[in-house]
A and B are shown apart, each in its own frame.
Chain A
Amino acid sequence: MRAYIGEFEQLVLLAILRLESGATGAAIRATVAEGSERTVWIGAVHTTLERLEAKGLVCSTVAPLPSARGGRRKIYSIQPAGREAIADAYQTWVRMTRGLKPRLESP
C-alpha cells in the first residue's frame, strides 16, 4: 500500500527533490514559499519533515557547519519510498487534469 501524502508534504518533497544535496530546513522553506507564493512557517516545515521521516519518505544526515562557530546542520534527502509517493501523486495529478487544460486556464 502506498503512503498517502498531503499537499504540504508533497510541496516539501518536491522542494527536497529540487534542492538535491543542499536541502536544509531553511532552503526547503524558502523553496516552498517561493514556489507556492504563500507564507510558509519554518515550524510547519520542521514538523512535516519529522512526519515524512517517520513515514520513511525522507532521511536526514547531520553535517558540521562550515563556519568557525561550530555546531551542526541537518540535510534532508529523499528516500525511494518518498520518490515513489511523489511520483504517484504527480501521476494522479496528471491523470486527473488530462484534458482539463483549456478549462483550467480559461478565466
Chain B
Amino acid sequence: MRPSVAPGRFVRWFVERIVVARDREFLLDDLDGEFRARRAAGRSATGWYLAQAVHAAVARRLVSWTARAENRGSSPMENTVAIGHYVRHAIRSLRVRPAITATAIAITALGIGSATAVSSAVFALLFKPLPLPQADRLVTGFSLREGFDPFGTSLLEYDAFRARTHCFASMGLARQQTSTLRIGTNTTRLQVAAVTADYLNTAGVTPARGRAITSLDDRPGAAAVALIGHALWERQFGGQQDVLGSTVFLDGRATTVVGVMPAGFDLPFASEVWIPMQIASDTLPLEQRLPGAYSLIARLRAGVSLQDANNEVGSIARALADEYPARRGWTYRVIGLRQQLVGDIDGRITRAIGILVAAVTFLLAICYVNVANLLLLRAMDGQRELAVRLALGASNRRLLNEQVAEYGLIGLAGGAAGALLATWLAPLLASLEPVSARSFATQLTDFRIHGVVLIVPALMAAVATAVFGFAPGAGIARRPSLALVLSATAPRLGVNKPQKRRLRVMVAAQIAVAVLLLIGGGLVLQSFAFLRSAELGFRPSGLATLQLTLPVDKYADHRRRAASIDAIVTGLRSIPAVTAAGVTTNIPLQHVSFDSFYTVEGRPQVAANDVPITAHRVVSPGYLSMLGVRLINGRLLSASDTADAPRVVVVTEELAKQAWPRQDAIGRHIRRGRAESTQFPWLTVVGVIGDVKEDRFNFRIDRAAWYLPYAQESSNVSPNVVWRSEVDPSTLVTAISDVIRRVDPDIGISALTTMDAHVAEVLTSERFVAVLLAALAAAGLALASLGLYGAISHIVLSQQREIALRVAVGAPRARVIGSVMREVAVVACAGVAAGGILASVGSTALDGILYRVEPYDPATYAAVAALIVVVSSLVAFDPVRRAASVDPAQMLR
C-alpha cells in the first residue's frame, strides 16, 4: 500500500485554522512536503506535523504581535504578548545593574510596607466590622461635666431616654461588677455585667446555646440566672453540652446557667458572665438614681445620625437639669460604640491615627521620589544606549514601553515585597498596644493583613510605576542626540541642565517632606516626653497594687470593713520585704473614679451651676506617705484619725486653691455634697499636699482631690491595697494572699499590677503615636540623605572633568569644594524652607494632641533645620572631596 501523501483531513483542517493567514500558503506547503518525505522514509509523520504546525502558529503570531504592538496598541491578546516581550526585556535590563534594582525595590517595599501596615492597623481599629449586626448603628453615652472624667449613665437619664427619645430603636443598660464565681469547689474572680433585658438584644447578640435574659428574669426578686461567655464555658465547663440548667454560685448566690454567649462576645467591660440587673428604678430614691454608674447601649433608628441623637439627648439632659437641681451643670453625649471601644471618648485617638496616616503617606512620598531619583540617575547613565538605539531606528514608543515595563516591575516587586514586609510590621504595631480596648480587644488589635487592605499595596505599586516613570520617561521624548552623546568631549556621564534641575528639585522635595516629618515627630516626641515626666504627685516605682472584694452581706457595716482593712494593712507591714502599705478606694489614674461635690464653709453658692467637684478618696492612715506625696502644709492622715476622733481631710493644692484662693487652708471647714444637702458632716482640713494625678481622663490637667480617713468615712467601694517594696511584687503575692486570707478567707483578690505598669498604660495611645512618628521621621531622614548622596555623587562625578580642569589651572581645592558645597547648601536650604512652610501648615493638626509644646515651637524648627544642614553637609562632603582629590593630569588625559 502506498503511504498517504497528506495528513488526515481533520488534522489539515485544524492546522489551516491555527496558522497565521500569510503562512497558510508557503509554510503549509513546506510542512506537507516534509510530511510526505517522512512518510516515505517510514518515520512517524502526523505527530511531528502537528507539533511543527502548533509551534509555528504560536511563534509566528508572537513575532507579528510584537511587531504590531510597537506601532499601536492592539487586541488584549496581542497586548499581553507584547507585554511579555517588554517584561522579558525589563528583567534583562534590571539585572544589568542589580544594586540599583535591589535598592529601588527595597525602598519601594519599605514605603509600601509601612503604609500597608498602618492601613491594616487603621482598618482593624476603625473600620473592620465588629462581630455584631449593623454595629455602626450602635452607640453608647456619657454624662459630662466640664473638666471631669466622663461619667457613666444614671438610671435617671436612662429612664428619661426610654420615655422621651425617638432616635433609638432600642436601648439597654449594664453595670459592671467583679464577682466571685464558685463552681463546685473551684472559685474564680471575674468580670460580670448586670444587664437589663434589652441590653443583649440591642447589641444584636443571641446566646449560642440556651436562652437569652428575658424581661421576666429582669424583675426584682426573680430567680437568679446567668449567661456565661464562650471562653468561660470552655475553660470551666470543658465545653460540656449539659452546662445549661447547672447551678453556680455568684458572690455566694445560687444561680442557674441558662445560656452560653457566642465566642468572642465580651461586651461590656470584657465581661464573662451576664446576669439580669433586676432593678425597678422607679421605686428607688433619687440619690440612688443619680450616680452615673451604668453603661448604656442603644441602637440608632435607620436614618438617624449621631448628631440627631446628640441633639435629642442633649435637650433631654437640659430638661433634666431644670427638673432636678442635682443635674445642673450636666450634659450628655452619645458616641459610636466603636469609638468608645478604642477608648476614643474625646476624638483624640482618631485624630492621632489621622496624623499617622498622613505621616506614613509622606514617608511613602519620600520613598517614591527617592526611587524616581535613583532611576533618573540610572537613566542618565543609559543616555548613550538610548541615543544609539534611537539612531538605529527604535521607535519612541518601544523605548517608552520598555521603560514603563521596567518601572512597572520595580513597582510590582516593591508592592509584593511591601505586602510581605507589612505582614511582619503589622503584628509589631499591634505589640505596641495602640489602644487599651476593654471589649472586643482581640478583634480591635488584630492587625493581620486583611484581604481588603491588600488593595493598598496594589494601588501604591501602580502609583509607584507612574511616579518612577515620569522623570526618566521624559528623557526619551527629548531624544538625546547621538552625535553629542558619543562625542569625545561629552562628559563621561551625561548630566544636562534640565536633568540637573530635575534632580535638585527632587532632592529638595525629599528634604522638605523629611523636614515635615521630623518637625511633626519632634513635636509629638517632646509632648510625649513631657507627658511621661508630668508631675504625678507620687512616686510609682516600687509600688504594687491589687483590688479586694469584700463580700457584700458580710461587710454591710463600715466599722467591720474598717477593722478588716486595718488588720490587712498591719499584716502587710509585717511582711519583711514590704516597706509600707496602705488602702484606698481608688488608686491614682484608675479607669473608674469616684468624685464628690463639695461645699466650702462660709462661701455662698454664686451660680446655680457652680457646683464644685473633687476626686473622692477614702484611704488608710499611712497611704499618703507610702504613695510619696509632697506635704506642703499641715500633716498627713494618721492612725489617730479614728472613727471617734474629729473628722478631718487632707486636700490637694488645686482644691485648696479653688476653695480658699490665696488663703491658708489649714483648719478650714469643707464638706461633701451640695450647699443644700446637709447629710454629710463638716471636715477640718489638716493638711495640704502637692497635686496628685488621680484623674485618668484629665491626665493633662491637675484636678482637685481630697483624702478622707477610712475609719471616718463610710465607703462600700472595693478597696485597693497598695504596698511599697524593694522586690519584684509578683514574688510577694503568696505572702500577701496569706495575710488577707488570715484576716478573712472570703475576701476576694484581683487586678494585681505594679504602679509603673499601671501609669504606663495611661499613655498607651500617646506612646504608640510617638514611637511610630519618630520611626517614620527617622526613616524619612535616612531616605532623604540617601537621595541627596546619590544626586550629589552623580552631579560631582559628571563635573569631574570641570573640577579637574579648575584644579589644573590653579584653583585651590578648597575653593572647588566650596563651590560644589554651595550648590548642596542651596538645595538643602530650599528643602528646609519648603518643609518648614509645610510643617507650619500641617502642625495645626497636632493641636490638642500636643502637651506643653506649641505647634510652632521655634526650638524644634531650628533644631530640625540645623540637623538637615549638618546631615546634608556630611552626606555631600565625601563625594565632593573625592572628586576634588582626583589627579587632574589623569582626568584630562
The contact string, 1 if C-beta is below 8 Å from chain A, for chain B 58-74, is: 11100100000000000
- A25 within 8 Å of B by Cβ? yes
CA A83 to CA B726, docked complex, whole Å: 98
CA A43 to CA B18, docked complex, whole Å: 13
A64 CB → nearest B CB, Å: 11
B13 CB → nearest A CB, Å: 16
A48 CB → nearest B CB, Å: 10
The contact string, 1 if C-beta is below 8 Å from chain B, for chain A 68-85, is: 000111100000000000
Contact A43 B59, CB 8 Å, known A25-B26, A65-B29? yes
A74 touches B26 (CB 8 A): yes
Contact A46 B29, CB 8 Å, known A30-B37, A41-B52, A41-B55? no
The contact string, 1 if C-beta is below 8 Å from chain A, for chain B 17-40, is: 000000101110111011001000
- A44 within 8 Å of B by Cβ? yes
B37 touches A43 (CB 8 A): no
B29 touches A73 (CB 8 A): yes
Contact A26 B30, CB 8 Å, known A41-B52, A42-B52, A46-B23? yes
- A106 within 8 Å of B by Cβ? no
A72 touches B25 (CB 8 A): yes
With both beta carbons as reference points, the residue of chain A lying nearest to B58 in the complex is identified as A43
CA A29 to CA B37, docked complex, whole Å: 13
A73 touches B56 (CB 8 A): no
The contact string, 1 if C-beta is below 8 Å from chain B, for chain A 27-58, is: 10110000000000111101100000000000
- B57 within 8 Å of A by Cβ? yes
Contact A41 B26, CB 8 Å, known A26-B33, A26-B34, A30-B34? no
| CB-defined contacts of A26 to chain B, threshold 8 Å | 29-31, 33-34, 37
B27 touches A43 (CB 8 A): yes
B197 CB → nearest A CB, Å: 80
A41 touches B25 (CB 8 A): no
| CB-defined contacts of A30 to chain B, threshold 8 Å | 34, 37
| CB-defined contacts of B56 to chain A, threshold 8 Å | 41-43, 46
| CB-defined contacts of A29 to chain B, threshold 8 Å | 30, 34
Most central of B29, B30, B33, B55 by chain A CB within 10 Å: B30
| CB-defined contacts of B60 to chain A, threshold 8 Å | 43, 46-47
Where chain A touches its partner, the secondary structure class is helix
A77 CB → nearest B CB, Å: 15
The contact string, 1 if C-beta is below 8 Å from chain A, for chain B 276-300, is: 0000000000000000000000000
- A24 within 8 Å of B by Cβ? yes
CA A42 to CA B19, docked complex, whole Å: 12
A24 touches B27 (CB 8 A): no
With both beta carbons as reference points, the residue of chain B lying nearest to A30 in the complex is identified as B34
Q: Out of A25, A43, A65, A71, which one reaches B55, CB within 8 Å?
A: A43
Q: Out of A25, A27, A71, which one reaches B27, CB within 8 Å?
A: A25
CA A53 to CA B391, docked complex, whole Å: 22
How many residues belonging to B are interface residues under a CB distance threshold of 8 Å?
18
CA A25 to CA B56, docked complex, whole Å: 13
With both beta carbons as reference points, the residue of chain A lying nearest to B55 in the complex is identified as A41
Contact A42 B31, CB 8 Å, known A30-B37, A47-B59, A47-B60? yes
A24 touches B52 (CB 8 A): no
With both beta carbons as reference points, the residue of chain B lying nearest to A46 in the complex is identified as B27
CA A52 to CA B892, docked complex, whole Å: 45
How many residues belonging to A are interface residues under a CB distance threshold of 8 Å?
17
A36 CB → nearest B CB, Å: 16
CA A42 to CA B59, docked complex, whole Å: 10
| CB-defined contacts of A47 to chain B, threshold 8 Å | 59-60, 63
CA A25 to CA B31, docked complex, whole Å: 9
| CB-defined contacts of B55 to chain A, threshold 8 Å | 41-43
| CB-defined contacts of B29 to chain A, threshold 8 Å | 24-26, 65, 71-73
With both beta carbons as reference points, the residue of chain B lying nearest to A51 in the complex is identified as B63
With both beta carbons as reference points, the residue of chain A lying nearest to B23 in the complex is identified as A46
A52 CB → nearest B CB, Å: 14
Q: Which of B342-396 contact A (CB under 8 A)?
A: none
| CB-defined contacts of B57 to chain A, threshold 8 Å | 43
CA A71 to CA B6, docked complex, whole Å: 15
| CB-defined contacts of B34 to chain A, threshold 8 Å | 26, 29-30, 42
B30 touches A25 (CB 8 A): yes
| CB-defined contacts of A44 to chain B, threshold 8 Å | 59
With both beta carbons as reference points, the residue of chain B lying nearest to A47 in the complex is identified as B63
With both beta carbons as reference points, the residue of chain A lying nearest to B51 in the complex is identified as A41
| CB-defined contacts of A25 to chain B, threshold 8 Å | 26-27, 29-30
| CB-defined contacts of A43 to chain B, threshold 8 Å | 23, 27, 52, 55-60
| CB-defined contacts of B26 to chain A, threshold 8 Å | 25, 46, 72-74
With both beta carbons as reference points, the residue of chain B lying nearest to A65 in the complex is identified as B29
CA A64 to CA B650, docked complex, whole Å: 120
| CB-defined contacts of B63 to chain A, threshold 8 Å | 47
CA A97 to CA B698, docked complex, whole Å: 89
| CB-defined contacts of B27 to chain A, threshold 8 Å | 25, 42-43, 46
| CB-defined contacts of B25 to chain A, threshold 8 Å | 71-72
Q: Out of B30, B37, B58, which one reaches A42, CB within 8 Å?
A: B30
| CB-defined contacts of B33 to chain A, threshold 8 Å | 24, 26-27
CA A73 to CA B27, docked complex, whole Å: 9
CA A104 to CA B388, docked complex, whole Å: 37
B393 CB → nearest A CB, Å: 12
A89 CB → nearest B CB, Å: 21
A31 CB → nearest B CB, Å: 11
CA A47 to CA B55, docked complex, whole Å: 12
A41 touches B59 (CB 8 A): yes
With both beta carbons as reference points, the residue of chain A lying nearest to B6 in the complex is identified as A69
CA A47 to CA B23, docked complex, whole Å: 10
| CB-defined contacts of B31 to chain A, threshold 8 Å | 26, 42
CA A35 to CA B23, docked complex, whole Å: 25
With both beta carbons as reference points, the residue of chain A lying nearest to B34 in the complex is identified as A26
With both beta carbons as reference points, the residue of chain B lying nearest to A41 in the complex is identified as B55
CA A10 to CA B55, docked complex, whole Å: 22
B59 touches A24 (CB 8 A): no
| CB-defined contacts of B37 to chain A, threshold 8 Å | 26, 30
| CB-defined contacts of A74 to chain B, threshold 8 Å | 26
B804 CB → nearest A CB, Å: 35
B758 CB → nearest A CB, Å: 77
B56 CB → nearest A CB, Å: 3
With both beta carbons as reference points, the residue of chain A lying nearest to B36 in the complex is identified as A26
| CB-defined contacts of A46 to chain B, threshold 8 Å | 23, 26-27, 30, 56, 60
With both beta carbons as reference points, the residue of chain B lying nearest to A33 in the complex is identified as B34
Q: Which of B215-241 contact A (CB under 8 A)?
A: none
CA A29 to CA B51, docked complex, whole Å: 14
With both beta carbons as reference points, the residue of chain B lying nearest to A49 in the complex is identified as B26
CA A41 to CA B34, docked complex, whole Å: 12
B321 CB → nearest A CB, Å: 90
CA A49 to CA B56, docked complex, whole Å: 14
CA A46 to CA B23, docked complex, whole Å: 9
Chain A contacts to B: CB under 8 angstroms:
24-27, 29-30, 41-44, 46-47, 65, 71-74
8 closest residue pairs by CB, A with B = A43-B56, A25-B30, A26-B30, A43-B59, A26-B33, A26-B34, A74-B26, A41-B55
Q: List 17 A-B contacts (CB under 8 A).
A: A25-B26, A26-B34, A27-B33, A42-B27, A42-B30, A42-B31, A43-B27, A43-B56, A43-B57, A43-B59, A44-B59, A72-B25, A72-B26, A73-B26, A73-B29, A73-B30, A74-B26
A25-B26, A42-B31, A47-B59 are known; give 12 further A-B pairs, CB within 8 A.
Answer: A26-B29, A26-B30, A26-B34, A29-B34, A30-B34, A30-B37, A43-B27, A43-B55, A43-B57, A44-B59, A46-B56, A71-B29
